[in-house]
Amino acid sequence: MSKSLLSLAVAAFVLGGCSLIPDYQQPEAPVAGQYPQGPAYSSAQAPAQAAAEQGWKQFFHDPALQQLIQVALENNRDLRVAALNIDAFAAQYRIQRADLFPAVSANGTGSRQRVPARASQTGEAGITSSYSATVGISAYELDLFGRVRSLSEEALQKYFATEEARRSTQISLVASVANAYLTWQADKELLKLTQDTLGAFDESYKLTARSNEVGVASALDLAQSRTSVENARAQQAKYTRQVAQDENSLVLLLGTGIPANLQTPKPLADDLLSDVPPGLPSDLLQRRPDILQAEYNLKAANANIGAARAAFFPSISLTANAGSLSPDLSGLFKGGSGTWLFQPQINLPIFNAGSLRASLDYSKIQKNIGVANYEKSIQTAFQEVADGLAARQTYTDQLQAQRDFVTANQDYYRLAERRYRIGVDSNLTFLDAQRQLFSAQQVLITDRLAQLVSAVNLYKALGGGWNEQTAKNEPLKEEAPKLKLF
């Protein structure tokens, strides 16, 4: 009995070597061979280490931000769902792959039936009994044309795509936490600046009010001084709200509350980020997880064509078992009670009103859609990196100009205040200097935030943010999930 089952299994493996999956050809990258050049782009030599190989603890220098990213990686719900999706697709792959093997099962049955006299061949009522115990395989498809193998390959490629989706989710999470944290810190600095400026405006208003009482300052001077105070109060309320909302957004990304032992944040003006090299556009094909995900989905669609092609050919399924059959339970395993069944079945499609042809056409269309999605993901990645490179150099120039502008306004403010105190200039000049300095300082903070956010987005666009450390990192290997029988 066991030898016959083994021979069937061996024959199935020998016959199941054919595949109708088209040879996979990686589509050409629909982008230029290098990133744009021009006045907006820096020509400076970049560091040797690629962004995707640079761990996020190396890229982010702020210990408070590093702490928050670690909390998010442990608690963020979107990342948990992405990890669970990997397990789900691994299970689906194992289910599909199991169809390549015959399923062996044991079966035991027993029945007793009273037969009335009218239905009995002897004309007398009686009781009939039947007992059986068998081991066999049921409806096992011989994969002659690779249909089952093609479906298994499709499930495997979808599993790989889900792994890349998790990597993409983590990279996006790291960048989102960093941007939310930087926005939070920028709004806190703007709030502190507004509070300090409000104090200065309030002192100036009180001084103008006393001057008005003694007839030195006019009612117009007093009214204009008050407008500065009220504007600063409105700004204070605005930034107070934004700080609270920034914290709420950060908590959502973390998946838990902000740690009570959060380390002291660094000021935005400090060196918070490392520089990252852009490399070549071709590097994105190996480093961007969303591009790899799109390619795995394309390979899955390519494998599905093989299954659709195989459906045009005959399919053969086998049912076989061997065991013992006896009318008495006591004689079930005695000599002479052996029984076996061998039942092959062939299915040959003759007429299906074009269903199989439509299924094949649909599979080919899905592959063409996969090609378009793959090419679009490359174009999107190229555009994001190009934007980041343009922002890197131009923000450097813009920030330096804004710092010089703040310095010039500070000089203007000191001179206007001194001349106002000694009575050389009017209060209008002094108020104008206060407002310009406040506005210039606000713009400097927002420009610094924009520069940091663009650098984080460039790091993300280059595929950085997946690793924590890089010293022991190994390249990702394409391996099928291990088959678990139980």
pLDDT at residue 5 tops 80: no
Instruction: State whether 361 and 223 are in the same domain.
Output: yes
Please report the pLDDT score of residue 327 as a whole number: 78
Residue 282's pLDDT band (boundaries 50, 70, 90)? Answer: confident
Weakest mean pLDDT among 124-128, 196-200, 252-256, 462-466:
124-128
CA distances from 353 to 307, 315, 358 (A): 19, 19, 9
CATH number of the domain to which 115 belongs: 2.20.200.10
Does residue 482 lie in a domain region? no
Residue 385's pLDDT band (boundaries 50, 70, 90)? Answer: very high
* pLDDT: which is higher, 14 or 125: 125
Weakest mean pLDDT among 111-120, 175-184, 219-228:
111-120
Our measurement of the distance from residue 287's CA atom to the centroid of its chain's CA atoms, rounded to an integer in Å, reads 13
Q: Which residues contact 457 (CB under 8 A, 6 or more apart)?
A: 175, 179, 384, 387, 388
pLDDT at residue 184 tops 50: yes
> In this predicted model, what pLDDT tens digit does every residue of 248-267 receive, in sequence order?
999 999 999 999 999 999 99
247 SS3 class: helix
Instruction: State whether 173 and 275 are in the same domain.
Output: yes
Please report the pLDDT score of residue 469 as a whole number: 60
CA distance 180 to 251: 10
Does residue 476 lie in a domain region? no
Please report the pLDDT score of residue 479 as a whole number: 54
Instruction: State whether 122 and 59 are in the same domain.
Output: no
CB 96 within 8 A of CB 151: yes
Question: For residue 72, what are its two tokens?
Answer: 């998010």
* Rg (alpha carbons) of the chain, rounded to whole number: 37
Question: For residue 212, what are its two tokens?
Answer: 């008005």
Percent of the chain with pLDDT over 70: 91
What is the CB neighbour count within 10 angstroms for residue 115? 14
Instruction: State whether 194 and 278 are in the same domain.
Output: yes
Does residue 241 lie in a domain region? yes
What is the CB neighbour count within 10 angstroms for residue 411? 12
Residue 48's pLDDT band (boundaries 50, 70, 90)? Answer: low
Please report the pLDDT score of residue 36 as a whole number: 86
Mean pLDDT of 155-179: 94
Domain boundary at 325, 348, 371, which? 348
Does residue 118 lie in a domain region? yes
Residues composing the chain? 486
Instruction: State whether 333 and 430 are in the same domain.
Output: no
Domain boundary at 297, 331, 348, which? 348
CB 203 within 8 A of CB 262: no
Our measurement of the distance from residue 4's CA atom to the centroid of its chain's CA atoms, rounded to an integer in Å, reads 50
Residue 480's pLDDT band (boundaries 50, 70, 90)? Answer: low
- Angle subtended at Cα 427 by Cα 421 and Cα 430, rounded to the nearest 5 degrees: 75
Does residue 472 lie in a domain region? no
Quote the number of domains for the chain.
2
CA distance 33 to 27: 15
* pLDDT: which is higher, 365 or 139: 365
Strand order in the sheet with 126-142: 104-115, 126-142, 315-326, 338-347
Range of the domain at 19: 1-29+102-142+315-348
Q: Burial, 398: exposed, middle or buried (Cβ in 10 Å; 0-12, 13-18, 19+)?
A: middle
* pLDDT: which is higher, 295 or 226: 295
CATH number of the domain to which 435 belongs: 1.20.1600.10
pLDDT at residue 232 tops 50: yes
CA distance 158 to 154: 6
Residue 207's pLDDT band (boundaries 50, 70, 90)? Answer: confident
Mean pLDDT of 91-115: 85
- Angle subtended at Cα 86 by Cα 82 and Cα 92, rounded to the nearest 5 degrees: 135
Q: For strands 126-142 and 104-115, give the pairing.
A: antiparallel
Percent of the chain with pLDDT over 90: 50
Q: Which residues contact 416 (CB under 8 A, 6 or more apart)?
A: 425, 429, 430, 432, 433
pLDDT at residue 342 tops 60: yes
pLDDT at residue 30 tops 70: yes
Our measurement of the distance from residue 266's CA atom to the centroid of its chain's CA atoms, rounded to an integer in Å, reads 29
Instruction: State whether 117 and 240 are in the same domain.
Output: no
Instruction: State whether 191 and 298 are in the same domain.
Output: yes
CA distance 460 to 288: 9
Phi, psi of 190 (to 5 degrees): -65, -35
CA distance 204 to 230: 13
Does residue 331 lie in a domain region? yes
pLDDT at residue 8 tops 60: no
Does residue 214 lie in a domain region? yes
- The DSSP-derived string for 47-91 is PSS-GGGS-HHHHB--HHHHHHHHHHHHH-HHHHHHHHHHHHHHH
Our measurement of the distance from residue 233's CA atom to the centroid of its chain's CA atoms, rounded to an integer in Å, reads 42
> In this predicted model, what pLDDT tens digit does every residue of 61-83 receive, in sequence order?
999 999 999 999 999 999 999 99
Instruction: State whether 160 and 255 are in the same domain.
Output: yes
CA distances from 308 to 6, 95, 96, 357, 408 (A): 30, 19, 16, 8, 72
CB 462 within 8 A of CB 276: yes
Mean pLDDT of 269-278: 89
Please report the pLDDT score of residue 484 as a whole number: 47
Residue 43's pLDDT band (boundaries 50, 70, 90)? Answer: low
Does residue 471 lie in a domain region? no
